[in-house]
Amino acid sequence: MEHFHQEFTVASSAAVAYSALTSITGLRGWWTQECDGVAEVSGAIHFRFGPVHKEMRVERLEPNREVRWVCTKAYIDMPSLTRKDEWVGTEMVFRLNDEGSGRTRIDFEHVGLVPSFECYGMCVKGWRYYLGSLRQYLETGAGTPHLADGSKSQCQERAAA
């Protein structure tokens, strides 16, 4: 199965990267400011991007090594999509590998996000944008998340163009 996968290295420790993936504050700093929930195993985290929303159940947390979520609810509010809940049942896996000297390799997989999904192209663009935001957040302390004030993020502006 060809699901979405991206790997990159950041100038940040694995502990800092793990915190960005497991704390509501961290998730708000790089993915979406419209985020709440319980970021612990079996907990649910709610992510909103205006009318688009997703709920993730935290499946696995291995400190400074792995974070795994399963999407339990999704609504992708795009007129072109006939199936707005394609993410349900897919898994997001972040593997962290300490490379030494304050560097961490992040290996991200969205297991189940496959080319046959209607949302695939749009979601791949979104992941590339937000994983870039994660890198920026880890290296500078400021990412480019979806904004809670209703204004469009840079990712939404690109998708609309």
Of all residues in the chain, what percent carry a pLDDT higher than 70?
92
Q: Is the pLDDT of residue 155 over 60?
A: no
pLDDT of 10-47, one tens digit each? Answer: 999 999 999 999 999 999 999 999 999 999 999 999 99
Q: Please state the pTM of the whole predicted model.
A: 0.91
Across the chain, the runs of DSSP E, i.e. the strands, are: 4-10, 34-37, 44-49, 52-62, 66-75, 91-100, 103-111
CATH for 4-160 is: 3.30.530.20
Cα gap 1→140, rounded to integer Å: 35
Cα gap 148→98, rounded to integer Å: 32
pLDDT of 51-98, one tens digit each? Answer: 999 999 999 999 999 999 999 999 999 999 999 999 999 999 999 999
Nearest to 53 by CA among 35, 28, 30: 35
With tokens 């840079």, the residue in question is 154
